[in-house]
Structure 1
Amino acid sequence: MTSLDDLPIRDDLRGLSPYGAPQLDVPVRLNTNENSYPVPEPVVEAIGKALAAELRELNRYPDRDAVALRADLAEYLGHGLTVAQVWAANGSNEIQQQLLQAFGGPGRSALGFVPAYSMHPLLALGTGTRWVPAERGVDFGLTVEEAVAQVREHQPDVVFLCSPNNPTGTALDPAVIAAVLDAAPGMVVVDEAYAEFARPGTVSALAVLPGHPRLVVSRTMSKAFGFAGGRLGYLAADPAVVQAVQLVRLPYHLSSLTQAAARAAVTHRDALLGTVSAIMAQRDRIVATLRERGLRVADSDANFVLFQVGGDQTVIWKALLAQGVLVRDVGLPGWLRVTAGTAAETDAFLTAMETVTWEREE
């Protein structure tokens, strides 16, 4: 039987494993930052009707530029954005891949401040873009001075900033984004996948877009909208950026079914986003409870919490799994990440953690 090593794949892909968190059948799944709440029945019906309306014309290609969907997304984002400033694709991963295809590539580099979203270096690899892992400071923070110094040192063609950051959960100080924009010679991509969960007073990079043609803000419907299975991500930027990614996008990349379902979801956003406050409450409960138990916990503006367990995090991960609770080992020694889910899921996680902590102390 032929193995992967027998194929003439690129040398820089040899020895790698596909990206992905474990998909295990356990009672409590809190490892992939999904929205734990099912889609409300009225929204299910609305999406079903929208899909049914498209079925008879599946013999035709979809709207290549998804204009109606982009108009809906622009209206949702506000900030005076127009359809010309918004682009949509199959998840924010494809958005960021298209950005690297347009502004990165062979002979160019992309920089990110790690730990951050682990797909960014993989997207760089897939597009032939050299990846530069810049460093964060104490407690995974990032100051203006630290960010600017590393951007000036490496002169990257693309800078990735996550706000809120994944896996730490903390939003960036707007001053950091402004300083990186001033220092970076190329594009600055602010990944705001978890923006809807940010604590009050958190400023979105969308507010900085006017007058900054090299700034891109990427979003997703996977998290707050509970639309992970629908695979819809989007960006907001200068119209010239949208024109640039259209040069590299695949023809008809968004199916007519995806566009219809996403439009129905955006139309019913009040119902879908109605779970955000409940999720934020569980997030804050996790942070407070783990800190009361003496654990170090990162501040979170997302729908997840990064917490320190001490020692080998894989031991704790397995102990939690044995109790039916699946969390995420993000590869940070001594740390684990848990998604904030329903109140019942939080109960299960905190109970399991109490048992695991007690066993560890014994």
Structure 2
Amino acid sequence: MGARKERASMEQSPLLPLREELAQVTPYGAPQLDVAARLNVNENPYPPSPGMIADITQAVARAAEGLNRYPDRDFTALRKALAGYVRRESGLSFPVEQIWAANGSNEVMAQLLGAYAGPGRTVLGTEYSYSMYPEYVRGAHSRYVRVPRRSDYNVDVDALLQGLREVSPSVLLLANPNNPTGTASSEAELIQILQQARETGPVIDDRRTATVVVVDEAYAEFRSPGQPSALALLEKFPHLVVSRTMSKSFGMAGLRLGYLVAAPEVIADIMRVRLPYHLSALTQAAAIAALGHAEEQLRQLAELRERRDNLASWLESKGYTVPRTQANFVLFGPFPDRHQIFSDLLDRGVLIREVGPEGFLRVSIGTSQEDQAFRQALEEVTR
């Protein structure tokens, strides 16, 4: 009797008003599997040092004493700490008014699109770029338009400039270094794009606006010496936004702390759409403590860059096409059946990623032991 009543109740459940455009959408997410070598989501393979863990623990304990109060809504102390880190890493100084942070670069992007995208507007990007960009744009109820990349997977500047002219995007999303190809644009190319974007945005009150150019530098600290950051262009181009994260270089993917550097006017616009108290007191405290260990984290990256370049050279020696990467991963291929290679590697305890151009795979730089496990497994499955 009870079972019949339960079934009847379920049959009478009301239809939920899911947005029509989401009916065929599946939740985003790379596989999370417990394997020996997890090299699919570009994590820093090294956990925080004992010293960093101790400092974070103490900072969070102090913050916990005041959890009955709301956190600092404008997180001024954290923005000061981020400004100090940016100065240390890039040699460029920015006031607190030009720094913003959120729960991962995901929320940074959502806030930017909340301010500058929206219904009836267009966001421009490139093919073979970060797979979350279309998700961000869909969430903003906007149209996403991609322009092609060159055959070497670098940005096709001419195609991008044409796209700016033709679709009048309110925002351009440009990952640099790009994920999943690892390729990076030169400063001269960025200047060309920024100059074009001064008046390619939508028309508002009979005036042509700028396209907000978001240069996503999630992997900036992994770039080779001499590869410039877009931060150097902020003073000249107020419609430029440079987005970064603590997930990769700091080995703090679990913290979820992304940030951006932009003109004060951009920060003011973001504050129109941000949710109040979006950064918890615990997140703020942990991030500030972690930033105190910038020196040791930046030293660690040199070893990861060296092993990245060694792995790229090894893959090239095996006959694969390998775009020149400036990030902590390597794209390689093509394979007639990349899913078979992916599956065969997984059977051997090595998890990588099926992403990017048809036939290509992406592998993150892990520990030296994980890198060796990947090489051995790949040789086994391609004999």
Specify the TM-score bucket, using the shorter chain as the normaliser.
over 0.9
1:281 aligns with 2:306: yes
C-alpha distance in 2, partners of 1:225/1:245?
25
Are 2:124 and 2:163, in contact at CA under 8 Å, matched by a contact in 1? no
- Does residue 197 of structure 2 align to residue 193 of structure 1? no
Contact 2:128–2:356 at 8 Å: present in 1 too? no
Please give the alpha-carbon distance, in whole angstroms, between the structure 2 residues aligned to 1:226 and 1:201. 23
SS at match of 1:96: helix
Task: Give the C-alpha shift of residue 219 in structure 1.
Answer: 0.1
Q: Please say if residues 190 and 205 of structure 1, whose CA atoms lie closer than 8 Å, have aligned partners that are also in contact.
A: yes
Cα drift, residue 331 of structure 1: 5.1
User: Cα distance, 1:133 vs. partner?
Assistant: 1.5
**Secondary structure, counterpart of 1:52 in structure 2:** helix
Decide which of 139, 164, 168 is 2:152's aligned counterpart.
Answer: 139
- Identity over aligned residues, as a percent? 49
Indicate if the aligned counterparts of 2:129 and 2:356 stay in contact, CA closer than 8 A: no
| Structure 1 residue 106, shift from structure 2 partner | 0.7
User: 1:54-65 alignment to 2 at 5 Å?
Assistant: 54-65=63-74
Equivalent residue for 2:187? 174
1:315 CA displacement: 0.6
CA distance in structure 2 between the aligned counterparts of 1:335 and 1:21, rounded to whole angstroms: 16
Query: Is 1:327 equivalent to 2:352 in the alignment?
Result: yes
- Counterpart in the other structure of 2:28: 19
After the TM superposition, which residues 56-95 of structure 1 pair with which residues of structure 2 at under 5 Å, given as runs? 56-78=65-87, 79-95=92-108
1:160 aligns with 2:173: yes
* Unpaired segments ≥5 residues, structure 2: 1-9, 201-210
Q: Distance in 2 between matches of 1:123 and 1:143?
A: 23
Which secondary structure state, in structure 2, belongs to the residue aligned with residue 132 of structure 1? Answer: strand
Partners in 2 of 1:62 and 1:233 — Cα distance?
17
- Does residue 207 (structure 1) correspond to residue 229 (structure 2)? The answer is no
SS of corresponding position for 2:137? helix
Distance 2:324 2:356 in 1: 19
Task: State the match for 1:297 in structure 2.
Answer: 322
Distance 2:57 2:85 in 1: 22
Q: What corresponds to 1:239 in structure 2? A: 264
- On the 8 A contact 1:306/1:337 being kept in 2, the answer is yes
Matches of 2:326 and 2:350, distance apart in 1? 23
Shift of 1:143: 3.4
Residue 124 of structure 2 is aligned with which of 111, 120, 125? Answer: 111
Give SS of 1:106's match. coil
| Change beyond 3 A, Cα 1:225–1:5 | farther
Equivalent residues, number: 357
CA distance, structure 1, for counterparts of residue 380 and residue 315 of structure 2: 13
Instruction: Specify the alignment match of 1:265 in structure 2.
Output: 290
- In 1: Cα distance, 2:156 partner to 2:141 partner: 29
After TM superposition, the structure 1 stretch with the greater mean CA deviation from structure 2, 237-246 or 149-158, is: 149-158
How far, CA to CA, are the matches of 2:316 and 2:357 in structure 1? Answer: 19
Name which one, 1 or 2, has greater alpha-carbon Rg. Answer: 2
Task: Please give the per-residue CA displacement for 1:100-143, whole angstroms capped at 9, x wherever unaligned.
Answer: 00000111110101110111110000111111122112121223
Instruction: Give the letter for the 1:131 counterpart.
Output: Y
| Cα distance per residue 1:245-303 (max 9 Å; x no partner) | 01111100000000000000111111233321111122111101111111111110000
Q: Which ranges of structure 1 fall in alignment gaps of 5 or more residues?
A: none
Equivalent position amino acid for 2:297 in 1: L
Question: Shift of residue 176 of structure 1?
Answer: 2.1
The match for 1:130 is 143
Between the aligned partners of 1:308 and 1:341, the Cα distance in structure 2 is: 19
What letter corresponds to residue 296 of structure 1 in structure 2? T
Is structure 2 residue 88 aligned with structure 1 residue 97?
no
Alignment of 1:41 onto 2:41:
no
Quote the Cα distance in structure 2 between the aligned partners of 1:333 and 1:339.
Answer: 18
Following the alignment from structure 2 to structure 1, what is the Cα–Cα distance between the partners of residues 350 and 15?
38
Of residues 240, 255, 262 in structure 1, which corresponds to 2:280? 255
In the other structure, the counterpart of 2:370 is 345
CA RMSD after TM alignment: 1.4
1:109–1:156: 8 Å Cα contact kept in structure 2? Answer: yes
The aligned residue for residue 206 of structure 2 is: none
CA distances 1:202-236 after superposition (whole Å, capped 9, x unpaired): 01000000021110000000001000000000000
Q: TM-score, normalised by structure 2?
A: 0.91
275-284 or 44-53, larger mean C-alpha shift: 275-284
